[in-house]
Amino acid sequence: MSDQIIQTFMHFLHLIGVLIGLFIGVTFLVGLIQEYVPLDKMQRVLNRVKPPWSNVIGAGFGALTPFCSCSTIPMVIGFINAGAPFGASMSFLIASPILNPVIIALMLTLFGWEITTFYILFAFVAAVLTGIVWDKMGLRSSVKRVRVVGLSNSDSPSNHQDTGLNPTWWGKNKPHIMGATGFAINLFRQLVLYLVLGAAIGSVIHGFVPEEFIVKVAGPGNLAAIPVAAVIGVPLYIRASTIIPISASLLGKGMGIGAVIALIIGGAGASIPEVALLTAIFKRKLVILFVITVFAVATIAGFIANALLA
């Protein structure tokens, strides 16, 4: 037992070290991108492009924002109030929490390129198609009139440029670098406990949970585990930084890849706090459709993953 505890602790130290280094590096790079391509520029681009390409761009912007589902909503309101296409804004809403650099980096490190590539392609296509279909259904009328103050980038460090006549490269880019550094540090402070929690639970699963139990309950042969995982994931408020290390350990113990994918998409894509926020900006019909869509995307992705990757 003592050797098992030591091995579990060493696994935790290795895992948390990798995750923290990866998280800080990725969020810094994302912060740089957002410094040079702020929200108002995203809005202008979406306003100039027509569907379906605006849906593709909206999902692409969502893939650049390492936010949880609740943090995405104020940006969606900003897009809609700025006159961005409804469908593109909805593609952003779906893509942002389930398809962002932090999730992709964690999955690539813990799951490998094959599973990660499938996840990226499926999530991106699902976000684009959701925006197109919702737009065709005329659901723009289901958005309430809501405004959010404070979405402007005017107070960010990048807007206080060097006033020298011949600024150096560092003088030009220092505000952006400092802004990206502050973004990474602030996001790390918010999420470090979730990283530690996910690594700790994953290490305990890795060290103590019998493989036979996981295979029996949620193995690839149990297809019912996929919709069950989606149902469990959708109402929970599980950050990707927590659920991905746990899912990696479950996968290593024999959990089916379909159930793992369904759990990640359901947990990252929707939550009770997010649904509560959505009721403030969406009418009931669109809120219900949002929950059904996330569940359907998680379940379909799970079954396809089981067929292709099991």
Say if residue 66's pLDDT is above 70. no
State the amino acid at position 141 in one-letter form.
S
Does 35 fall in a domain?
Answer: yes
Does 154 fall in a domain?
Answer: no
79-129 pLDDT tens trace: 787 788 899 999 999 998 888 788 888 899 889 999 999 999 999 999 999
In angstroms, the Cα distances linking 176 to 43, 164, 245, 250, 292 are 20, 16, 31, 40, 40
Task: Give the model's pLDDT for residue 199.
Answer: 77
For 79-106, b/e burial (b = at least 16 CB within 10 A) is: bbbbebbbbbbbbbbbbbbbbbbbbbbb
More confident residue, 242 or 177: 177
Does 102 fall in a domain?
Answer: yes
Task: Give the model's pLDDT for residue 150.
Answer: 44
Average pLDDT over residues 41-54: 82
Does 39 fall in a domain?
Answer: yes
Task: Give the model's pLDDT for residue 215.
Answer: 67
Does 212 fall in a domain?
Answer: yes
Does 161 fall in a domain?
Answer: no
Average pLDDT over residues 223-242: 76
More confident residue, 183 or 59: 59
Q: What is the DSSP secondary-structure string of 155-181?
A: TSGGGS----SS--HHHHHHHHHHHHH
256-307 pLDDT tens trace: 999 999 988 988 887 776 777 788 788 999 999 999 999 999 999 999 999 9
Does 155 fall in a domain?
Answer: no
Query: Picking from 149-153, 188-192, 251-255, 257-261, which range would have the lowest pLDDT averaged per residue?
Result: 149-153
What is the share, in percent, of the chain residues with pLDDT greater than 90? 26
| Rg for the chain, CA atoms, rounded | 20
Average pLDDT over residues 57-76: 75
Q: What is the pTM of this model?
A: 0.76
Query: How many independent structural domains does the chain possess?
Result: 1
Task: Give the model's pLDDT for residue 211.
Answer: 65
- Helix 225-233 vs helix 257-269: crossing angle, to nearest 10: 20
**Token pair for residue 237?**
């408020």
Range of the domain at 261: 2-146+172-309
Does 163 fall in a domain?
Answer: no
